[in-house]
Structure 1
Amino acid sequence: MSYAAIHPDWEKPRSNMVDGYSLEMTAKEIEGLREAAPLIRPGTQIAVTFLPGEEMEQRVEAAVLVRQLGFEPIVHLSARRLTSEAELDKYLADITGKAGVKRVFIIAGDPPEPEGPYSTSLEIIETGLLEKYGIQIVGVGGHPEGHPNNSKDELWDWMERKLAAVRAHGMTPLIVTQFAFDDDAIVEWVGEMRSRGIDVPVRLGVPGPAGIKRLLGFAKRCGVGASASVMKKYGISLTNLIGSAGPDKLVDSLDKKLSDAEHGRVRLHFYPFGALTASAEWINKYDAKHS
């Protein structure tokens, strides 16, 4: 596999854990991206989410700005939030035509009932529309701490089916995980994935620096484990919710426990929770300290 297709930095072993990182933004964070842009490495891959309360035009505008600022857009597709095949077709036409998008990340989405014809991310892959519009890299989700609606075996089965479908349609797969706080759970999950023969590059989701209440709020909303013991490892006391926390301990631990030889190509994907500038500053400080 050519790791350069995922990210040019991935052809060489990482010098530290923030090499080849990616970031996430919502369609409404255009001004936040403009502010943070001078702090973000040129060519960084920036994901544009597909959340409720946004218009398609906002998402397209965000992807266009990512490209204009010298970064690489990764556009999310939420299967259950798409109302029709025509809407999917037009969205793909807009993001590829206006923002030169070559990368997408597909999730099923939160709605219990689909708003259109698609219930799963696999159904999006099988439409044939991605390759029609020149999409080259397709990201699918990974869940180191499990998922409330699927068993562990079901999650592995779904992953393998989606990866096979991406390849069958002539595209390159990538795995991007939900953010997690537990380094041991993350490392164990990557190890199990490799033991199953899944050799796909992985972006591990980690939280950017944020207020403690905000972090825990996102964790609860996303079904991420936030037990007292895990939070203590991460540096948060559940009895003291004042202040902010950064991913220093988590990233340091992952850096020590993950190796290219044993775990394959693994890089980080930061969830800034609306704080793009703070996340970019943290990444730059970490890089300077570990270079």
Structure 2
Amino acid sequence: MALLPFRRKEAPGPSGDLSAILSGYSIEVMPRTAAKIDDFKALLPAGTRVYIAHIEGTPIDEMVATAARLADDGFDVMPHFPARIIADARVLEDWIARYQAEAGVTQALLLAGGVAKPHGDFHCSMQLLETGLFDRAGFTRLHVAGHPEGNLDIDPDGSDRAVMEALRWKQAFAERTDAQMAMATQFAFDAAPVLAWSRRLRDEGITLPVHLGIAGPAKLQTLIKFAVACGVGPSLKVLQKRALDVTKLMLPYEPVEILSDLSATADLGLIEQIHIFPLGGIRASADFAARHGAGQQAPVQAEA
């Protein structure tokens, strides 16, 4: 069954009002960062989708325990399945079964993962999809990675030919299955290249909704480190320009500019909602979202 055409839940807000663009945002945690939070219900709106990043070396026991805790608190849990750290189909099937049995998980983010050399049989998310294991287990929502500014791991020459070919494959997969699919993207700092990419995809017949990654509040040095490590493209210039402004150099970065530009844009292409990477801490990101009207949240304290 094909996916329904994308439909925005809320109209963009006026310039300076970020409540609409942040409505329904998702956020990412890791087991070690989640362990620092005593009560997620005091931080995040009820039902928030919480991705659980699976970093190489993290035991599956910790991943599943974190998923169970968040699910028990009423959150919409979406663990990462990084293809290159999954040895084979047997391991994949075991992970799926454990997430379901112990945390009631029925959704997943499938991605290649940041490992240069695969640990086993898989090297990309398409191979995970092709196993059919998620479908047989009754997973209802499958997200894949998006790269608005390209991906040098996939296209070392700087083109986006392989990335676009993969997206067309995933679009075709979505059309022949009943899974709800979307793209969760790498974070960016400038709306212009992201909007151009989103509109280009739509014009080329891609209809997968985009859950756009943005970096939550953090120190400038922290953001530059993560941006370089993650291969952020042209929008990195926003941070570089900020670093040259001595009046802003020591101030924490907040994603107000990119969100304001998106909120004031009539045509967002495929962008459906915002996904926050809490690079400066979960509490800082949750507080930022709450201050800008994203749900009813309690005031939060400094990151532990």
What's the TM-score, normalizing by structure 2? 0.85
Gapped runs of 5+ residues in structure 2? 14-19, 296-304
1:37 aligns with 2:41: yes
Which residue is equivalent to 1:148?
Answer: 152
Equivalent in 49, 52, 66 of residue 53 of structure 2: 49
Q: Which stretch shows the higher mean deviation, 275-284 or 161-170?
A: 161-170
| Secondary structure at the counterpart of residue 244 of structure 1 | coil
Q: Is the 8 A contact 1:138 1:166 kept in 2?
A: no
Give the Cα separation in 1 of the matches to 2:181 and 2:235. Answer: 32
Give the Cα separation in 2 of the matches to 1:83 and 1:208. Answer: 33
Aligned pair in 2 of structure 1 residues 217, 95: CA closer, same or farther (>3 Å)?
A: same
Aligned pair in 2 of structure 1 residues 169, 228: CA closer, same or farther (>3 Å)?
A: closer
Give the Cα separation in 2 of the matches to 1:284 and 1:85. Answer: 41
1:100 aligns with 2:104: yes
Q: Which stretch shows the higher mean deviation, 22-31 or 186-195?
A: 22-31
Which residue is equivalent to 1:194?
Answer: 202
Deviations 1:117-164 (A, max 9, x none): 001110000001001111111111111111112131221111110232
Counterpart code for 1:127? T
Counterpart code for 2:189? F
1:134 aligns with 2:138: yes
Which residue is equivalent to 1:283?
Answer: 289
Which residue is equivalent to 2:114?
Answer: 110
Give the CA deviation at 1:97: 1.6
Give the CA deviation at 1:10: 5.4
Give the CA deviation at 1:167: 3.9
Equivalent in 266, 274, 278 of residue 272 of structure 2: 266
Q: Is the 8 A contact 2:143 2:182 kept in 1?
A: yes
Q: Is the 8 A contact 1:10 1:20 kept in 2?
A: no
| Secondary structure at the counterpart of residue 34 of structure 1 | coil
Q: Is the 8 A contact 2:22 2:294 kept in 1?
A: no
Give the Cα separation in 1 of the matches to 2:281 and 2:127. Answer: 33
Give the Cα separation in 1 of the matches to 2:85 and 2:100. Answer: 20
Give the CA deviation at 1:174: 0.7
Equivalent in 78, 82, 86 of residue 82 of structure 1: 86
Which residue is equivalent to 2:178?
Answer: 170
Aligned pair in 2 of structure 1 residues 229, 85: CA closer, same or farther (>3 Å)?
A: closer
Q: Is the 8 A contact 2:217 2:288 kept in 1?
A: yes
Deviations 1:189-248 (A, max 9, x none): 111011112122110000000111111111111001367742267xx2246553411101
Give the Cα separation in 1 of the matches to 2:164 and 2:78. Answer: 24
Q: Is the 8 A contact 1:103 1:138 kept in 2?
A: yes
Counterpart code for 1:101? V
Task: Give the structure with the larger helix fraction.
Answer: 1
Structure 1 runs, 4 residues or longer, greater than 6 Å off? none
Aligned pair in 2 of structure 1 residues 72, 14: CA closer, same or farther (>3 Å)?
A: farther
Which residue is equivalent to 1:208?
Answer: 216
Gapped runs of 5+ residues in structure 1? none
Larger RCO (alpha carbons 8 Å, 6+ apart)? 2
Q: Alignment RMSD, CA only? A: 2.4
Counterpart code for 2:256? D
Give the Cα separation in 2 of the matches to 1:65 and 1:279. Answer: 20
Aligned pair in 2 of structure 1 residues 285, 3: CA closer, same or farther (>3 Å)?
A: farther
Instruction: State, as a whole percentage, how many aligned pairs show the same letter.
Output: 27
Give the CA deviation at 1:258: 4.8
Aligned pair in 2 of structure 1 residues 187, 152: CA closer, same or farther (>3 Å)?
A: same
Counterpart code for 1:51? I
Q: Is the 8 A contact 1:205 1:270 kept in 2?
A: yes
Which residue is equivalent to 1:21?
Answer: 25
Give the Cα separation in 1 of the matches to 2:36 and 2:287. Answer: 13
| Secondary structure at the counterpart of residue 17 of structure 1 | helix
